[in-house]
């Protein structure tokens, strides 16, 4: 089993840009850094397989090297293309695998273990839905490139369309409990206090 974590380099002005109105560019990048470390720690704690950090725009940022030393994860540059293309390429390296982002602060080792069991017990696909109509983790036991082709990523219909594609292609699907992700200022309420400690949180009118 592989656990693939997708993450951008924590560069101010380029990471978690939709949070800049609430945190500023530096604060948003710092929260992203903390979220990546948190999810890597949970992935290692799950003890279900190798942990891989898939990096954008490449694996050259010093933060990624720090993560490799601290968590023992391997580093991989994300492929070109939209999110679906990048996910497909990463998953095709070897299955079964779980793929997750770094912006779901409630996604933990236990959830990863439950997802891994769902794949090992015969399901082709497992999803952890997001509260906004997408998903925060997907797992595959068999190739399913069609799940990622020309998807309207970031839209509220991603989860429903993924369900439809699974059904139309005969893929068995297991869904776990939904989990919040942190994309916009209103989502910060889902962050544990320790992740926000010391950040320049602004009150938005």
Per-residue pLDDT for 63 more than 60?
Answer: yes
pLDDT band at 145 (very low <50, low <70, confident <90, very high): confident
Mean of all residue pLDDT scores within the chain: 96
pLDDT band at 146 (very low <50, low <70, confident <90, very high): very high
Sequence-distant (6+) residues with CB within 8 A of 153 are 82, 83, 84, 134
**How does pLDDT run across 127-137, given as a tens digit for each residue?**
999 998 999 99
Are 165 and 173 in contact, with CB atoms under 8 Å apart? no
The radius of gyration of the chain's CA atoms, rounded to the nearest angstrom, is 16
Q: Locate tokens 């604060």: which residue?
A: 27
pLDDT of 154 reads 87
Q: How far apart are CA 198 and CA 182, in angstroms?
A: 18
Per-residue pLDDT for 147 more than 70?
Answer: yes
Question: What number is the average pLDDT over the span 174-178?
Answer: 97
Backbone angles phi, psi at 146, to 5 degrees: -65, -20
Question: What number is the average pLDDT over the span 6-28?
Answer: 97
Q: How far apart are CA 205 and CA 107, in angstroms?
A: 30
To which CATH superfamily is domain 2-182 assigned? Spore Coat Polysaccharide Biosynthesis Protein SpsA; Chain A (3.90.550.10)
Question: What number is the average pLDDT over the span 24-36?
Answer: 98
Question: What number is the average pLDDT over the span 48-60?
Answer: 97
Report the percentage of the chain scoring pLDDT > 70: 99
Question: What number is the average pLDDT over the span 70-79?
Answer: 98
Per-residue pLDDT for 70 more than 70?
Answer: yes
How far apart, in Å, are the Cα atoms of 170 and each of 32, 114, 140, 173? 37, 22, 13, 9
pLDDT band at 204 (very low <50, low <70, confident <90, very high): low
Per-residue pLDDT for 205 more than 80?
Answer: no
Domain boundaries, given as residue ranges, for the chain: 2-182
Q: How far apart are CA 193 and CA 107, in angstroms?
A: 15
Sequence-distant (6+) residues with CB within 8 A of 180 are 104, 105, 106, 130, 131, 187, 190
């Amino acid at each position: 089993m592989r656990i693939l974590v997708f993450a951008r380099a924590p560069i101010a002005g380029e990471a978690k840009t939709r949070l800049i109105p609430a945190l500023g560019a530096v604060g948003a990048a710092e929260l992203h850094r903390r979220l990546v470390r948190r999810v890597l720690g949970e992935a290692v704690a799950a003890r279900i397989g190798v942990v891989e950090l898939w990096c954008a725009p490449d694996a050259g940022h010093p933060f990624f090297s720090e993560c490799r030393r601290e968590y023992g994860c391997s580093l991989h540059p994300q492929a070109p293309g939209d999110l679906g293309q990048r996910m497909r390429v990463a998953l095709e390296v070897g299955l079964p695998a779980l793929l997750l982002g770094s912006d779901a602060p409630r996604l933990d080792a236990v959830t990863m273990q439950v997802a891994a069991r769902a794949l090992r017990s015969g399901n082709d696909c497992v999803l952890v839905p997001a509260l906004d109509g997408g998903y925060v983790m997907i797992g595959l036991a068999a190739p399913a490139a069609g799940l990622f082709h020309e998807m309207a990523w970031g839209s509220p219909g991603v989860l429903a369309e993924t369900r439809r594609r699974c059904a139309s292609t005969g893929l068995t699907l297991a869904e776990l409990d939904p989990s919040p992700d942190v994309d916009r200022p209103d989502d910060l309420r889902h962050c544990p206090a320790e992740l926000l400690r010391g950040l320049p949180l602004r009150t938005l009118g």
